Amino acid sequence: MSGTPQSLYRDEGVVLRTQKLGEADRIITVLTRRHGKVRAVAKGVRRTKSKFGARLEPFSHVDLQLYTGRNLDIVSQAESIRAYGQTIAGDYSAYTAGTAVLETADRLTAEEKEPSLRLFLLVVGALRSLAEQAHPSGLVLDAFLLRAMSVAGWEPALHGCARCGEEGPHRHFSVPAGGTVCPACRPTGSAMPNPVTVELLEALLSGDWDRAEASQGTNRREGSGLVAALLQWHLERGLRSLPLVDRSDAASPRREASLRL
Ligand SMILES: [Zn+2]
């Protein structure tokens, strides 16, 4: 490490996941308030005498002091702000919903150290709701996913037409188009969800919990299916586009040149 200038910084964050490193260390992935997603080494945390091992588990909201490293930063201090893990792990549906929140936050932050305060606040809000059992877990998860998509620039159309913007409500729903679509725009293979289900998604996106909690199980299930399909479509498309760009650069420079014309 000699010759490498190190700077110290402090931030709060939620631990998204941990990986073992060597005999006693762990790599933690944290979504921080001001520095976006950070991967850092927590040294000696798997030893029983570790000062802060238990504070650096998934779902923990911690105040961290870190040194910048060449590849990974190094955790030098960790103080617990709130440990949501124990409460969330005690309830199976909260635990599975919470795990999906952490995984989605990780997937949505492709770039490390790119601040996303809105996503950070959504994650903290969702974990708090799950820990306090403020609302049914499935609804908390779907509200989080809809808002996280919105933060990522993929807010689904739930009233107007996703393609031309024509005022709704519209009966057809197309995942590739990004939500409800008017009769003129609807692609073949569009679904026709129950209009009450689309209203439930609108309520979840806007935070109208009275309306959302009055919903029936059938609409919740159908809504979850639509939300999952939208997220999956965006994530796969997002991930697929990167390897395609890399491959065309390396394998066919002529094609790249022709694209520039
Ligand atoms: Zn249209």
Distance of CA 124 to the CA centre of its chain: 11
Same domain (yes/no): 25, 108: no
Instruction: Residue 216: count other Cβ atoms within 10 Å of its Cβ.
Output: 12
Q: Of the residues 30, 63, 83, which one is the last residue of a structural domain?
A: 83
Q: Of the residues 83, 100, 122, which one is the last residue of a structural domain?
A: 83
> Residue 245 pLDDT more than 90?
no
What span, in angstroms and rounded, lies between the C-alpha atoms of 174 and 89?
35
Predicted confidence (pLDDT) per residue in 126-155, tens digit:
999 999 999 999 999 999 999 999 999 999
What is the 189 CA–ligand 1 centroid distance (Å)? Answer: 15
Report which residue type is found at 172.
Answer: H
Same domain (yes/no): 97, 63: no
What is the 153 CA–ligand 1 centroid distance (Å)? Answer: 19
The predicted pLDDT at position 70 comes to 84
CATH of the domain at 153: 1.20.1440.120
74 touches 9 (CB < 8 A): no
Residue 249 domain-assigned (yes or no): no
What is the 145 CA–ligand 1 centroid distance (Å)? Answer: 25
Least confident of 83-87, 135-139, 222-226: 83-87
The predicted pLDDT at position 247 comes to 38
Contacts of residue 141, defined as CB under 8 A and 6 or more positions apart, other chains included, come to 97, 100, 101, 126, 224
Same domain (yes/no): 42, 138: no
More confident: 240 or 75: 75
Total domain count for the chain? 2
What is the 182 CA–ligand 1 centroid distance (Å)? Answer: 4
Residue 2 domain-assigned (yes or no): no
Residue 65 domain-assigned (yes or no): yes
What is the 235 CA–ligand 1 centroid distance (Å)? Answer: 24
Q: 21 by DSSP, 3-state: which?
A: strand
Predicted confidence (pLDDT) per residue in 164-197, tens digit:
999 999 999 999 999 999 999 999 999 999 999 9
Same domain (yes/no): 66, 156: no
Averaged pLDDT score across all residues of the chain: 88
The predicted pLDDT at position 46 comes to 79
Same domain (yes/no): 184, 90: yes
What is the 162 CA–ligand 1 centroid distance (Å)? Answer: 7
What is the 199 CA–ligand 1 centroid distance (Å)? Answer: 19
Q: Would you give the DSSP letter of residue 191? A: B
- Label residue 251 by pLDDT band (50, 70, 90): very low
Phi, psi of 133 (to 5 degrees): 50, 45
What span, in angstroms and rounded, lies between the C-alpha atoms of 19 and 106?
14
For residue 5, say if its preceding peptide bond is cis, omega within 30 degrees of 0: no
64 touches 83 (CB < 8 A): no
Q: What average pLDDT does range 223-248 have in this prediction? A: 73
What is the 75 CA–ligand 1 centroid distance (Å)? Answer: 51
Give the range of the structural domain holding residue 177, as residue numbers without chain letter: 86-244
Q: Of the residues 83, 102, 131, which one is the last residue of a structural domain?
A: 83
The predicted pLDDT at position 240 comes to 54
> Residue 211 pLDDT more than 80?
yes
Instruction: Residue 4: count other Cβ atoms within 10 Å of its Cβ.
Output: 9
The predicted pLDDT at position 238 comes to 65
What is the 170 CA–ligand 1 centroid distance (Å)? Answer: 9
> Residue 115 pLDDT more than 50?
yes
For residue 46 the two structure tokens come to 């798997």
- Label residue 69 by pLDDT band (50, 70, 90): confident
Same domain (yes/no): 78, 151: no
130 touches 84 (CB < 8 A): yes
> Residue 248 pLDDT more than 50?
no
What span, in angstroms and rounded, lies between the C-alpha atoms of 139 and 213?
8
Same domain (yes/no): 211, 105: yes
- Label residue 256 by pLDDT band (50, 70, 90): very low
Instruction: Residue 114: count other Cβ atoms within 10 Å of its Cβ.
Output: 10
Residue 250 domain-assigned (yes or no): no
What is the 168 CA–ligand 1 centroid distance (Å)? Answer: 9
Distance of CA 220 to the CA centre of its chain: 20
The predicted pLDDT at position 180 comes to 98
Q: Would you give the DSSP letter of residue 84? A: -
Residue 253 domain-assigned (yes or no): no
Same domain (yes/no): 238, 134: yes
Residue 151 domain-assigned (yes or no): yes
Same domain (yes/no): 60, 126: no
Same domain (yes/no): 57, 96: no
Residue 258 domain-assigned (yes or no): no
Predicted confidence (pLDDT) per residue in 40-58, tens digit:
999 988 777 777 777 899 9
What is the 147 CA–ligand 1 centroid distance (Å)? Answer: 23
> Residue 236 pLDDT more than 90?
no
pLDDT more than 70, % of the chain? 89
46 touches 25 (CB < 8 A): yes
> Residue 255 pLDDT more than 80?
no
What is the 27 CA–ligand 1 centroid distance (Å)? Answer: 47
What is the 185 CA–ligand 1 centroid distance (Å)? Answer: 4
Same domain (yes/no): 58, 107: no
What is the 148 CA–ligand 1 centroid distance (Å)? Answer: 25
What is the 197 CA–ligand 1 centroid distance (Å)? Answer: 20
Same domain (yes/no): 143, 206: yes
The predicted pLDDT at position 64 comes to 96
